[in-house]
Structure 1
């Protein structure tokens, strides 16, 4: 399970609820969630705002930031 999907499920939202809120189709959001589509910075910010998080907390791999 991807981090984004886990966050969505933990917060009790459906794919459709998130997709409508950020202005994309459910299919497109599903592809983002399943890492079949890359996400623009603008869309990453919208997704993070939806979950009241920072984009880095969702999309940045922690392994890249530690030495």
Structure 2
């Protein structure tokens, strides 16, 4: 799953820890999501989208191998 989390976080000039606190997950979870090592569950994806005031599909995109 591709995502724009790191880019959006950098634009807002916030740390992984600040985003993690805002969406109630660990900093490591944000790191895994940003690096594509793990996909967020739907609740975390919705919280991240809400934090950035965007739609989930504007931030997260399935790659052809994910389908």
TM-score bin, normalised by smaller chain: 0.7 to 0.9
Answer with 1 or 2: which has the greater Rg: 1
* Structure with more contact order per residue of length (Cα contacts < 8 Å, sep ≥ 6): 2
Greater fraction strand? 2
**Aligned twin of 1:45:** 46
* 5+ residue gaps, structure 1: none
RMSD (CA atoms): 1.7
**Aligned twin of 1:60:** 61
Give TM-score scaled by structure 2 length. 0.81
Give TM-score scaled by structure 1 length. 0.81
| Dislocated runs of 4+, deviation >2 Å | none
* 5+ residue gaps, structure 2: none
Matches within 5 A, 1:1-67: 3-60=4-61
Separation (CA, whole Å) in 1 of partners of 2:4 and 2:44:
16
